[in-house]
Amino acid sequence: MSQEILVERDGMIATVTLNRPHKLNAMTKGMWRRLGEVFEELSADDGLRCVILRGAGSKSFSPGNDIAEFENERSNVEQARAYGKIMAHTLEALKGCRHPTVALIEGICVGGGMEIAGCCDIRICGTSSRFGAPIKRLGLVMAYAEIGALLDLVGEAYAAEILYEGSVFDAARAKEMGVVNRVVPDDVVEEEAYAAARRIAEGAPLVARWHKKFMRRLKDPTPLSEEELDEGFACFGTEDFQIGYKAFLAKEKPDFKGS
Amino acid sequence: MSQEILVERDGMIATVTLNRPHKLNAMTKGMWRRLGEVFEELSADDGLRCVILRGAGSKSFSPGNDIAEFENERSNVEQARAYGKIMAHTLEALKGCRHPTVALIEGICVGGGMEIAGCCDIRICGTSSRFGAPIKRLGLVMAYAEIGALLDLVGEAYAAEILYEGSVFDAARAKEMGVVNRVVPDDVVEEEAYAAARRIAEGAPLVARWHKKFMRRLKDPTPLSEEELDEGFACFGTEDFQIGYKAFLAKEKPDFKGS
Amino acid sequence: MSQEILVERDGMIATVTLNRPHKLNAMTKGMWRRLGEVFEELSADDGLRCVILRGAGSKSFSPGNDIAEFENERSNVEQARAYGKIMAHTLEALKGCRHPTVALIEGICVGGGMEIAGCCDIRICGTSSRFGAPIKRLGLVMAYAEIGALLDLVGEAYAAEILYEGSVFDAARAKEMGVVNRVVPDDVVEEEAYAAARRIAEGAPLVARWHKKFMRRLKDPTPLSEEELDEGFACFGTEDFQIGYKAFLAKEKPDFKGS
């Protein structure tokens, strides 16, 4: 099973691969659990600056959960709840990863696959990618954690369309709805996603982490404390600010330390 | 008056028509009240799976409230408040309908008309449809219930543009702003809206109702209780899940029972 | 310094200009402070109906804060906090201006410049305008006030892309993301922005102020009081409603008094 969620690392960029290509990377309970663990581990890694999440092969990111599993793993409410808690935990681990995350989407990105991609920060897909959540055909419901992530992504009107009509739609429509940030030709999806990751990795990593922390905090309507507001200026005390500022004046590329 | 809000039913799909074609379906106080009652009745009907809302004729969905009524029904603050409470109640009844709702929009969809369409789940319009809320020319304000619905639909920046500039705009601009889900050629709006309704009606009805309930619940920032979270898995105990699952394995079309 | 924030008035429309063209209108601490004061003064002016905010010259709205200032004004956390409080206060003054505000954007609109434009109600730019917030290259963070405004404007997914990748992007992409309301040919940006301002100024000014007040109120999840809900109908007691209503019946252009 651990081979079904691959983690590779190239310098400051990690790549996580949903790796079950003979099933188009359909997710199993074990894969969901492992995916969450992997993102928690990567999140804790101070040396990392960006995580790319992709599917094995170019035909599919993921079509969602493996239906074959339903008989033994999701055949009743109790089992489904246990399974759903793992999914919710993993989606939260994706969103909560301290480092920016980029979903590299090729081919099918449906159901749980679209949910996983939707919990990354940035989504880049190819023109022939396909999206949707046709679970109403199965008599299945998106639980709160899943539907919350979908609403964050596309808003009410498109979420309603996706869930009620249950259509599978193309990349252009996905872009229009806000499902993806960018659509590029199929043969450059990988190139574009890694270029984005490198742009991210070249930036000051503490800055990215603060931005992510602040954006997540602002989803909570509780008023900000003075201490929290002050954290918005902590960057001015970092070594990286000195590096960035001097590089800017010298018209050089900064080499950030993450400190 | 009851003829001015028509309700027809064809199997699991109901059609509600704003039926005052000699006035382009301009709304009156009585029509607002009746529209709310109709949606409360339809909402309670377990046999229903989708409601289409449209205007009579192909020239207009609705231009909003009949100005002729102002003299007797909205000539001062007291009257306006009473009228506004009916409007707010009806917009809430539209939003609160348990079944998915589709606005079939042909021609003029302005002011209160756009508000009514905006409280449906999905909006499909023709290329020659026109939208806007030019109430600043009348010295009139959208009350909180109305402006809240507009913000949900298009966000702050476009709501500001719509209200402050008061322009009437075309379908392409409406799409861009998020006023409508889809724009189709005028001669297929009806076909497209009913096709959407059929797609919705083919899905498991309890699933649609749960999705709608969950999406509405998530607009409230109050944390979810354990019991609420659990409801996300109740579908696994339904007969429809068994039907859907078996149909999927058999590669057949499921015939859901709504139970 | 007071020359660096120009205020001109033509009837009911005021124009505020970021006026430091030899630095492409880069902002200084003094300009930030003065910009806030100016908007507070304009906000209090009952005779005003719209404020246009622009940069001097056609090459740049503003590239954001003048980097040259960092050495003396933002060299440590303490200084940055003091500077940031002025910025936050000014962004709030822009948002809180009682009158509708229109950003007329030509050329560069980056960093703090994009933040300033983003706190106007409506943004109109030319096709060759450029946007972005490449502060990750400097090791700098958007504080809460700034990032909150960015999230309101473009949502999570695009805010993440803007901040993490740090790219500078063109007007078409800005439109797609929601950074601007409208993109027009460069040589008509000014014409289009003033046309919008005139449309706004022709409307009932109390209506615009109520709409703005209500939209801002709805960002606060606290339930509305009965008194607040009632304010939605106060317009029916205004002289301007009588003027608007009579002009409508007479098919004339209303001449609102603002009372």
Closest chain B C-alpha to A161 CA, distance in angstroms: 6
How high does pLDDT run on average in chain C?
Answer: 96
For C150, name the nearest residue in chain A, comparing CA atoms only. A215
Task: Please name the amino acid found at residue A216.
Answer: R
Of C4, C63, C8, C61, the C-alpha closest to C35 is C4
Return the DSSP state at A186.
G
Closest chain A C-alpha to B71 CA, distance in angstroms: 36
**Which pLDDT does position A161 carry in this prediction?**
98
Distance CA A112, CA A133 (A): 8
**Exposure b/e, B147-156, CB count within 10 A at least 16 = b:** bbbbbbbbbb
Greatest CA span in chain C, whole angstroms?
Answer: 64
Backbone dihedral angles phi then psi of residue B194, each to the nearest 5 degrees: -70, -30
Q: Pick from A156, A184, A209, A214 the residue to mutate for testing the C interface (most C CBs within 10 Å).
A: A214
Confidence of residue B2 (pLDDT cuts 50, 70, 90): low
**Which pLDDT does position A133 carry in this prediction?**
98
Tell me the residue length of chain A. 259
Q: What is the mean pLDDT of residues B71-91?
A: 94
Helices (H), chain C: 29-43, 70-73, 77-96, 112-118, 144-160, 171-177, 189-202, 205-217, 226-231, 239-249
Q: Is the pLDDT reported for residue C1 higher than 80?
A: no
Of B76, B145, B157, the CB nearest to C237: B76
pTM of the predicted model as reported, rounded to 2 decimal places: 0.97
Closest chain B C-alpha to A216 CA, distance in angstroms: 14
Of B14, B51, B9, the C-alpha closest to B209 is B51
Confidence of residue A100 (pLDDT cuts 50, 70, 90): very high
pLDDT in tens, C6-39: 999 999 999 999 999 999 999 999 999 999 999 9
Tell me what percent of the residues of chain C surpass a pLDDT of 70.
99
**Which pLDDT does position C152 carry in this prediction?**
95
Q: Is the pLDDT reported for residue C101 higher than 70?
A: yes
Distance CA C108, CA C130 (A): 5
pLDDT in tens, B116-169: 999 999 999 999 999 999 999 999 999 999 999 999 999 999 999 999 999 999
Distance CA A207, CA A229 (A): 15
Of A141, A148, A159, the CB nearest to B207: A141
Calculate the dihedral angle through the C-alpha atoms of B173, B175, B178, B184, rounding to the nearest 10 degrees.
150
Q: What residues in C contact A215, CB-CB < 8 Å? A: 147, 151, 156, 159-160
Judging by DSSP bridges, how do beta strands B130-132 and B101-105 pair with one another? Answer: unpaired
- Integer CA distances (angstroms), A90 to A33, A42, A84, in order: 7, 13, 10
Calculate the dihedral angle through the C-alpha atoms of C237, C240, C245, C249, rounding to the nearest 10 degrees.
150
Give the number of C-alpha atoms closer than 13 A to the C-alpha of residue B176, restricted to the C-beta side: 20
**Which pLDDT does position B15 carry in this prediction?**
98
Q: What residues in A contact C143, CB-CB < 8 Å? A: 229, 232-233
Q: Chain B residues with CB-CB distance to C under 8 A?
A: 67, 70, 74-77, 79-81, 84, 135-148, 151, 155-161, 163-167, 221
Of A120, A144, A140, the C-alpha closest to A197 is A120
Of A67, A167, A185, A191, the C-alpha closest to A129 is A185
Q: What residues in C contact B79, CB-CB < 8 Å? A: 236
Q: What residues in C contact A100, CB-CB < 8 Å? A: 160, 164
How high does pLDDT run on average in chain B?
Answer: 96
Q: Is the pLDDT reported for residue A250 higher than 70?
A: yes
Judging by DSSP bridges, how do beta strands A108-110 and A130-132 pair with one another? Answer: parallel
Distance CA C171, CA C176 (A): 9
In chain A, where are the structural domains located?
A: 2-201, 204-249
Confidence of residue C70 (pLDDT cuts 50, 70, 90): confident
Q: Pick from A183, A198, A236, A243 the residue to mutate for testing the C interface (most C CBs within 10 Å).
A: A236
Instruction: List the structure tokens of A111.
Output: 């159901």
Q: Is the pLDDT reported for residue C231 higher than 70?
A: yes
Q: What is the mean pLDDT of residues C198-211?
A: 98
CA B155 to chain centre: 17
**Which pLDDT does position A34 carry in this prediction?**
98
pLDDT in tens, B230-243: 999 999 999 999 99
Q: Would you tell me which CATH number, out of the four given (3.90.226.10, 3.40.50.300, 3.40.640.10, 3.40.1190.20), belongs to the domain A2-201?
A: 3.90.226.10
Residue corresponding to tokens 């590089």 = A247
Closest chain B C-alpha to C4 CA, distance in angstroms: 28
Query: Crossing angle for the helix pair B144-160 and B77-96, nearest 10 degrees?
Result: 80
**Which pLDDT does position C2 carry in this prediction?**
67
Tell me what percent of the residues of chain B surpass a pLDDT of 70.
99
Say which CATH topology domain C204-249 has: Lyase 2-enoyl-coa Hydratase; Chain  A, domain 2 (1.10.12)
Q: What residues in B contact C158, CB-CB < 8 Å? A: none
Confidence of residue B202 (pLDDT cuts 50, 70, 90): very high
Calculate the dihedral angle through the C-alpha atoms of B54, B60, B65, B70, rounding to the nearest 10 degrees.
-140
Contact A28, A68 (CB under 8 A): no
Contact C210 B158 (CB under 8 A): no
Distance CA A15, CA B168 (A): 49
Distance CA A258, CA A244 (A): 11
Distance CA A104, CA A192 (A): 9
Neighbours of C52 (CB within 10 A): 25
**Which pLDDT does position B70 carry in this prediction?**
87
Instruction: List the structure tokens of B141.
Output: 């304000």
Confidence of residue C142 (pLDDT cuts 50, 70, 90): very high
Confidence of residue C71 (pLDDT cuts 50, 70, 90): confident
Q: What is the mean pLDDT of residues C93-104?
A: 98
